[in-house]
Amino acid sequence: MNIQRIKLLTWVGSLALGGYLAWFVAEFLKNRGELELGVSNEAQREVLDSIETPEPPKDNVVDYKLVQAVFHNMDWTGKEAPKIREVKEEPKVVETPKKKVAELLKVLVVRVDTDDSAGSLAYVKYTDNVLLQRTLQRKDPEDNILRVGETLPEPHAYARVDRISSRGVHFVFEGDDREPEILAPVEFPSGRAQIVKVGTDGAIIPERQQLIQRSAGASTWRPAQTQLVGKNVWQVGTETVQTLEQDYSRILSQDVRYKKHRDPRTGQVTGIAVTYVAGGSLPEAHGLQSGDVIKSINGEKVTSVNGAIAYVKKAADTTDEWVVVIENKGREFTRLFRSPQD
């Protein structure tokens, strides 16, 4: 193709393009008024409604619930597997066999308060292995004391102390049709366990019949030094009395130490607690030992050492026997001291 032909084609194309542009401009100017009017909402809605809605694209993702039903739950029908009903088993309650009180403990001593039943108590010894081990582990003297209204330790708390009388300890059973049970104190070689009546005048100790009687006209036995003549019975010597009268201040300051004893429940002073006794001293010779709590002398409550000394001096002219109530490690007992007779 030569140069002339190329030029001719270029001119022809230019003229055609220019003619098209001229026609387009003319048409725009001709329809300018209509174009400025805009498209109405009705026309827009008609155009949109005439367009068919295309189908949504198909997703290749499988629903997890269907997979779980088919493969995990092995339910090939695709239906939801039935819910498994869980049955909870109630824990089995093992009830402790209810025994007779006589199979659980022995009553050693009872103390009956005839004026106020709440003041009565009983000293017991457990024979049941469970109760025995529990009291040995706790090492609490109160565990071996039963009062009115108290129940036995677990697992035998069904037995409750209804009252304490001269016959023994009366037990009733909570939530049970069992007949009440009375457990009497054990018999000791010297006789039945001692019962002390506590009234407004203090403890009243029943007199014991003397196993050895002095024959008429026999000379009175007056040892120089205090002698132990029976279980918790001392015959005070004549020289011992003189030593006590002349040297009691030194004895109280050097041979023995003491303090006031208070009831842990009420805080009231209920006696004199001995904390130290010198070996070979007069207090030791008269049975006094560390841990003793002196509670009363001949029914007179002891709340101070000076008060006890004043009482003894006042009653010395009319009294030859001194009954001292002492408590040690939760066990209460008496000591009898006989003054030398003229």
Q: For the chain, where are the alpha helices, taking DSSP H only? A: 3-30, 32-37, 41-49, 64-67, 129-138, 238-250, 282-285, 305-315
Using CA atoms in the order 308, 312, 314, 317, what is the torsion angle rounded to 10 degrees? 170
Q: What local confidence, expressed as pLDDT, does residue 76 receive?
A: 57
Q: Pairing relation of β-strands 233-235 and 331-338? A: parallel
Q: What local confidence, expressed as pLDDT, does residue 218 receive?
A: 39
DSSP-derived secondary structure for 132-149: HHHHHHH--GGGGEEETT
Q: What local confidence, expressed as pLDDT, does residue 1 receive?
A: 57
Q: How many CB atoms lie within 10 A of CB 335?
A: 18
Q: What local confidence, expressed as pLDDT, does residue 330 receive?
A: 83
Three-state DSSP state, 182: strand
Q: What local confidence, expressed as pLDDT, does residue 305 receive?
A: 87
pLDDT per position as a tens digit, 293-338: 999 998 899 999 888 888 888 888 888 888 999 999 888 888 888 8
Q: Pairing relation of β-strands 300-301 and 227-230? A: unpaired
CB 301 within 8 Å of CB 295: yes
CA-nearest of 261, 267, 335 to 293 is 261
Domains of the chain: 101-200 (no CATH), 222-338 (2.30.42.10)
Q: What local confidence, expressed as pLDDT, does residue 274 receive?
A: 93
Q: Which residue has the tokens 């009388």?
A: 165
Q: What local confidence, expressed as pLDDT, does residue 96 receive?
A: 57
How many angstroms separate the Cα of 241 from the Cα of each of 7, 235, 244? 165, 11, 5
Q: What local confidence, expressed as pLDDT, does residue 80 receive?
A: 62
Using CA atoms in the order 258, 260, 302, 294, what is the torsion angle rounded to 10 degrees? -50
Q: What local confidence, expressed as pLDDT, does residue 317 receive?
A: 81
Contacts with 331 (C-beta within 8 Å, 6 or more apart), sequence order: 123, 141
Length of the chain as a residue count:
342
CB 260 within 8 Å of CB 304: yes
Using CA atoms in the order 243, 247, 250, 255, what is the torsion angle rounded to 10 degrees? 10
For the chain, the distance separating the N- and C-terminal CA atoms, rounded to the nearest angstrom, is: 177
Contacts with 86 (C-beta within 8 Å, 6 or more apart), sequence order: none
Output DSSP code: residue 25. Answer: H
Low-confidence ranges of the chain (pLDDT < 70): 1, 35, 37-38, 58-59, 69-82, 91-97, 187-221, 342
Q: What local confidence, expressed as pLDDT, does residue 221 receive?
A: 61
CB 272 within 8 Å of CB 304: yes
Q: Which residue has the tokens 């295309």?
A: 54
